[in-house]
Structure 1
Amino acid sequence: MGYTGHRFDVNLSILFTELPLLDRPAAAAAAGFTAVELWWPWIDDPTPSRTERDALRQALTDAGTRLVGLNFYAGRLPGPDRGALSVPGEESARFRANVEVAASFADSVGCRALNALYGNRVPGADPAAQDALALENLALAARAADRIGATLLLEALNRPESPDYPLVTAASAVEVADKVNAATGLGNAKFLLDLYHLARNGEDLGAAIAAYADRVGHVQIADDPGRGAPGTGTLPLERLLDDLTAAGYPGWVGLEYKPGDRPSAESFDWLPYEARAARA
């Protein structure tokens, strides 16, 4: 199957960032893509104005691109933060204020996957208290996602780049998803499988796919080392994606890589043009 049999989307928070946010959907469409994803696009503002949300919705519509993945508010990303929902005080309050805003925006554009980054450990805070706060806020997010028919995603990050982030294995992220499902009874919390992050942690990617393919709600890829496009590192990404398909994963594969020194539009030469428009 190789790269031609999967449903790819472009992460517009890491690719096409040489352009203003509202110009990125059209740039992705010009490169041949019909599906995109985003981190929380307003970064420091968990509750952007309706005007700002309408403008992004219109940009997606005008470009003919479908938003298939969206992060809840996660603090400064890119930057030092790795989520807000387990961070005591103002940050977790900002996350809670964002939950209905993010779910409403996602619903308005037909997005059915919402990613909730767990947040860093905080010096001086009790890890058990952070975990209890996280579960409370994740249950809130899961219920909001359920109301729009969406999946709540939990992601493991890599320890070298995110040393204070506690979810650094596939098993740890799946464990949290299980706790959320047990707390809500909804069953809509799933694992965001990012092959780059797991590879950076030295995890056995084949074993992770075999163990958790049925728990995966979304996939993201970048090559390792370097977090570049497929083919710039050493990961056997074609084979790994085929393994996911063989294991029954039918969903989206987000391109969450850095384009390097090239313009983003020139970083897709590894993927045939005809394979970029996502199948329904």
Structure 2
Amino acid sequence: MIIDTDAGQLRFAANLKWMYTELSFEERFDAAATSGFTAVEFASPYALPADRIGELARDAGVRIALINTPAGPAGSDTVMGAGFVPAAGDEFRAGVTKALEYATALDVPVVHVMAGLRPEGVDADRAFAGYVANVAWAAEQAHGTGIRLVLEAINKRDQPRYGLASMEAAAAVAEAVDPDVVGVLFDVYHAQVDRGNLIERFESLRRHIGHVQIADNPGRGEPGTGEIAYERVLARIAASGYSGWIGCEYGPVAGTEAGLSWIERITR
């Protein structure tokens, strides 16, 4: 869904993990297209072969804006990614390889490299050094593919053990590794819970931002259901010249379709 505003253009992608959950995953592509979305994103395509995912997207007439690297099984140290787990180097590399294979096959421009949880008892400096080395390896694999890798920080209220502490830390890693290949996933919801100051932080990180995701706080519903001044935040994103997709990674408060009224109300 592409919206022209006075400030510039905004391109919204439906997140198929969070939206249209009353439907099966395969039905969500058509549902998003029917709502007017021209792109979708989702964390994990790996339950289906890449050619089947591609067929669903083509039939619906949408492109795929972002996928994540694979997560480990429930209850494992790598349930939110393997980047910060020193003993999971092989799993991390296999996951990055698989994600790049899917992204290449599906023409996905952005892959979120999940940092994951720092295991209990593992020294923080050791885990961080291993994470930076992992991201550097991933950047080498992505170099020349045209795929942008992005790093996301998850707020400490929702996930105290998540390895990547802040978007500023993500930007520092990207800068140290390869800023042409690695960038920041600016998640407005996590940034607000982390410490707010959204517009100033967006502007300070702008050159590193490779993808944006949105949800309101509290509740993680659609924009307009919480405290975030989305009229101003989205106007600033549009005016910044950011041309990437904005993933709607929120849980609709009263159903996906009914909740989409926020787009016209907030962006007009």
TM-score, length basis structure 2: 0.88
Cα contact 1:169–1:203 (8 A) shared by 2: no
Q: Deviations over 1:52-78 (max 9, x none)?
A: 222112111111110011111133589
Post-superposition Cα deviations, 1:69-119, rounded to whole Å, max 9, x if no partner, equal 111113358999332122133x44222112222112111221111111211
| Equivalences, count | 261
How far off its partner does 1:2 sit? 7.0
CA contact (8 A) 1:25 1:36 kept: yes
Displacement after TM superposition at 1:166 (Å): 3.2
Question: What letter is aligned with 2:100?
Answer: A
Q: Which structure is richer in relative contact order (CA contacts within 8 A, separation 6 or more)?
A: 1
Residue 232, structure 1, aligned to residue 225, structure 2: yes
Q: CA offsets, 1:185-237, max 9 Å, x none?
A: x6211111111101011231122022111211111110111110011011111
Please state if 1:140 is matched with 2:137.
yes
Q: Secondary structure at the match of 1:70?
A: strand
Alignment match, 2:83:
85
CA gap of 1:125–1:19, structure 2 versus 1, over 3 A, is same
Matches within 5 A, 1:174-213: 174-181=171-178, 187-213=180-206
Tell me, yes or no, if the aligned pair for 2:8 and 2:241 is still in contact at 8 Å.
no
Change (3 A) 1:208 1:157: same
The SS at the match of 1:228 is: coil
How large is the RMSD of aligned CA atoms in angstroms? 2.5
**Deviation larger for 154-163 or 96-105:** 96-105
Counterpart of 2:68 in structure 1 is 71
Quote the offset at 1:169 in angstroms: 2.3
Alpha-carbon displacement from aligned partner over 1:15-60 (angstroms, at most 9, x marks no partner):
1233222221111111111101111233xxxxx6xx6222112111
CA gap of 1:78–1:36, structure 2 versus 1, over 3 A, is farther
**Residues 76-85 or 2-11, more deviating:** 76-85
Q: Name the SS of the counterpart of 2:263 in structure 1.
A: coil
Partner SS, residue 261 of structure 2: coil
User: SS of 1:147's equivalent?
Assistant: coil
The answer to whether the 8 A contact 1:157-1:168 is kept is yes
Residue 120 of structure 1: aligned partner? 117
Runs of 4+ in 1 over 4 A off after TM superposition: 76-80
Q: Which runs of 5+ in 2 are unaligned?
A: none
SS of residue in 1 equivalent to 2:41: strand
1:194–1:221: 8 Å Cα contact kept in structure 2?
A: yes
Does 2:33 align with 1:35?
Answer: no
Matched, 1:263 2:260: no
**What's the secondary structure of 2:49's corresponding residue?**
helix
* Residue identity (%): 35
Pick from 238, 243, 262: which aligns with 1:245?
Answer: 238
Q: Which runs of 5+ in 1 are unaligned?
A: 43-47, 276-280
CA contact under 8 A between 2:111 and 2:150: conserved in structure 1?
yes
> Which residue identity is paired with 2:31?
A
Matching residue's letter, 1:267? G
Q: Is the 8 A contact 1:168 1:198 kept in 2?
A: no
CA–CA distance in structure 1, aligned partners of residues 34 and 155 of structure 2: 32
Contact 1:82 1:162 in 2 (8 A): no
On the 8 A contact 1:115/1:155 being kept in 2, the answer is yes
Q: 1:144 to 1:267 in 2, by over 3 A?
A: farther
**2-side partners of 1:142 and 1:82: how far apart?**
20
2:18 is aligned to: 14
* Counterpart AA for 2:83: L
